């Protein structure tokens, strides 16, 4: 071989090596790489083995090629999906959030009841919360604050909260102070037209504070007339924000009132926990809402996968006649503080005291109908944290994946993920633009990600106490790992507020 040819070959080899070195050098190093997992995106129906590259709070690459990361999560045999979005979470403390993230939740919202003193609440949680959070206008509270009998007390409360902050001892002692409003009496009162006008002004203020719609749990304030509630729907339609409603009473009458209001006003409506509101008429409720959607109405609903409800024993739900309405008796009520089933005597004693009960009132087949129906979303209705709180507080999403997908085959995995991610994200998107970046496993989306073992995932909480779900291996909130190898990461608070479009 001539020296000239050798020189050319050596030069080519050097160029090849240099090119390879440059390629290696230019290969990006991501903050986090999730490798070898089964990536599932419920919006596009993508389902395949891929690696996911994350920088900061965003998904920046999804590839079949090997990716390099400062931290690598090996997800072989695991599902990599969007973080679960819970539209109905009353547990809004980090004590509750520690259980929720172990159930795959990355966004937990208080939409049924709304949040009183919303602006201050958002400020108090920002930078201090594990998951993304947000709330609606609390119509039930604001209608009382607008009553002439309570207006001065409401103003004192507002000034105290603004001055001291929600976490101050003075504010926490409101219940025993002169500024306390007796909601137990006020909820039986109706509003005058001037009070309705005042309520609308307050609701506007809350929308400007970042509210995600209007929470209308009218089932807890029977004093509200049909005309008052219809005026709320008219207000919501004028502002183009959704109503999230626990409808009046149980059974179809209250649900039909809400749907009639939405149809007439053209307001957007979300009926919360259709399973417990409908009881044995769940199929009829879902058929009505399904037909409403086909006719162009923006009406949606949700269910939770347990056959018991939970609420305050002192609420109007347990006014005279509750046994006939719910078709249950004292023994079907479980006192959360002790776990005991109630008797006539303890019912009346505890009702005066006030506290939470678990209500065993639904049949498994009703729940299966709700979970498997194509129009329903999954939402927990999780209660404020307590060691013996309703198990839905800790296990809702894992129960759907373990019991209803894997064990009973009531629905397939992709459909279940849709109900937990893209459907709730789309429900919120018109009011909260940031939700267009959530509920999806795609390049450019927020890195809210839940990684779980489809063969192991299951709820472990029961009616004797809270326990962490199993099989949720990793959870990322805005690109920060909050569950790592099945364990909570402590002192990490990446949650951000989800704010409505009128925020000022």
d(CA 464, CA 197): 46
3-state DSSP call for residue 61?
A: strand
How does pLDDT run across 33-71, given as a tens digit for each residue? 999 999 999 999 999 999 999 999 999 999 999 999 999
- What 3-state class would DSSP assign to 95? helix
d(CA 109, CA 86): 6
Helix axes 226-239, 193-208, angle to 10 degrees: 30
**DSSP one-letter code for 434:** G
Residues 6+ apart with CB under 8 A from 238: none
Burial class (CB in 10 A: 0-12, 13-18, 19+), 309: buried
Mean pLDDT within 250-256: 95
Nearest by Cα to 220 from 111, 326, 318: 318
CA distance 242 to 262: 10
Q: Quick check: 328 and 359 in contact, CB under 8 A? A: yes
d(CA 389, CA 171): 25
Q: Which two tokens stand for residue 387?
A: 């060691």
How far is residue 288's CA from residue 124's CA, in Å, rounded to a whole number? Answer: 40
Q: Output 407 or 153, whichever has higher pLDDT.
A: 407
Of 26, 24, 70, 73, nearest to 52 by C-alpha is 73
Name residues whose C-beta falls within 8 Å of residue 82's C-beta, 6 or more positions apart in sequence: 41, 42, 417, 421, 422, 425, 438, 439, 440, 441, 445, 448, 449, 450
Per the prediction, the chain carries an average pLDDT of 93
Tell me if 467 sits within 8 A of 399, measured CB to CB.
no
Answer for the pair 79, 454: CB distance below 8 angstroms, yes or no: yes
Q: Phi/psi at 353 (nearest 5 deg)?
A: -70, -40
- State how far the Cα of 32 lies from the Cα of 67, in Å rounded to an integer: 10
pTM for this model (two decimals):
0.92
* pLDDT for 9 beyond 50: no
Question: What is residue 1's predicted lDDT score, i.e. its pLDDT?
Answer: 53
For 204, counting Cβ atoms within 10 Å of its Cβ (0-12 exposed, 13-18 middle, 19+ buried), the class is middle
On whether the CB atoms of residues 101 and 396 are closer than 8 A, the answer is: no
Q: Which of 51-65, 144-158, 358-372, 409-423 has the lowest mean pLDDT?
A: 144-158
On whether the CB atoms of residues 212 and 236 are closer than 8 A, the answer is: no
Give 151's pLDDT tier (boundaries 50, 70, 90).
Answer: confident
Residue with tokens 């046994």: 323
Q: Are 475 and 104 in contact (CB under 8 A)?
A: yes
Q: Residue 301 and residue 304: Cα distance in Å, rounded?
A: 11
pLDDT tier for residue 169 given thresholds of 50, 70 and 90? confident
Axis crossing angle, helix 422-429 with helix 413-420, rounded to the nearest 10: 30
For residue range 447-474, what is the model confidence (pLDDT) as tens digits? 999 999 999 999 999 999 999 999 999 9
| Beta strand 449-452 pairing with 376-378 | unpaired
Burial class (CB in 10 A: 0-12, 13-18, 19+), 315: buried
What confidence tens digit (pLDDT) does each residue in 292-343 have? 999 999 999 999 999 999 999 999 999 999 999 999 999 999 999 999 999 9
């Amino acid at each position: 071989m001539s020296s000239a040819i050798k020189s050319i070959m050596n030069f080519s080899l050097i160029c090849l090596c240099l090119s390879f070195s440059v390629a290696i050098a230019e290969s990006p190093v991501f903050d986090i790489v999730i490798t070898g997992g089964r990536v599932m995106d419920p919006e596009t129906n993508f389902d395949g083995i891929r690696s996911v590259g994350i920088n900061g709070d965003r998904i920046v690459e999804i590839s079949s090629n090997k990716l390099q990361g400062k931290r690598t999560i090996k997800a072989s045999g695991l599902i990599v999906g969007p973080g679960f979005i819970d539209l109905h979470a009353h547990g809004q403390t980090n004590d509750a959030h520690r259980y929720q993230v172990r159930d795959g939740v990355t966004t937990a919202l208080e939409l049924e009841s709304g949040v009183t003193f919303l602006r201050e609440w958002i400020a108090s949680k920002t930078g201090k919360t594990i998951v993304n959070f947000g709330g609606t206008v609390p119509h039930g509270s604001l209608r009382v604050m607008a009553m002439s009998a309570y207006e001065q007390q409401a103003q004192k409360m507002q000034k105290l909260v603004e001055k001291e902050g929600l976490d101050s001892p003075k504010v926490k002692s409101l219940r025993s102070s002169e500024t306390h409003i007796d909601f137990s009496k006020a909820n039986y009162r109706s509003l005058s037209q001037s009070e309705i006008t005042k309520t609308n002004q307050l609701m506007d203020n809350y929308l400007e504070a970042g509210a995600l719609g209007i929470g209308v749990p009218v089932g807890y304030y029977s004093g509200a007339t049909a005309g008052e509630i219809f005026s709320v729907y008219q207000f919501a339609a004028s502002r183009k924000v959704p109503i999230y409603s626990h409808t009046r009473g149980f059974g179809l009458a209250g649900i039909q009132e809400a749907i009639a209001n939405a149809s007439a006003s053209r307001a957007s409506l979300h009926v919360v926990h259709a399973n417990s509101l409908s009881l044995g008429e769940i199929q009829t409720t879902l058929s009505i809402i399904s037909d409403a959607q086909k006719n162009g109405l923006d009406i949606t609903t949700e269910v939770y996968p347990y056959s018991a409800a939970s609420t305050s024993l002192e609420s109007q739900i347990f006014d005279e006649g509750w046994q006939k309405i719910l078709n249950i008796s004292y023994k079907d009520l479980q006192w959360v503080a002790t776990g005991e089933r109630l008797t006539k005597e303890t019912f009346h004693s505890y009702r005066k005291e006030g506290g939470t009960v678990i209500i065993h009132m639904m049949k498994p087949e009703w729940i299966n109908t709700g979970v498997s129906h194509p129009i329903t979303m999954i939402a927990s209705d999780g209660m404020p944290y307590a060691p013996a709180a309703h198990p839905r507080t800790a296990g809702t999403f894992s129960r759907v994946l373990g019991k209803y997908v894997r064990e009973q085959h009531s629905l397939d995995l992709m459909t279940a993920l849709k109900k937990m991610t893209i459907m709730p994200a789309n429900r919120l998107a018109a009011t909260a633009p940031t939700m267009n970046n959530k509920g999806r496993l795609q390049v450019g989306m927020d890195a809210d990600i839940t990684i779980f073992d489809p063969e192991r995932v299951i709820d472990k909480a029961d009616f004797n106490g809270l326990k962490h779900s199993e099989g949720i291996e990793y959870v990322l909130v805005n690109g920060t790992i909050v569950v790592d190898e099945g364990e909570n990461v402590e002192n990490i608070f990446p949650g951000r507020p989800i704010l409505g479009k009128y925020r000022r």
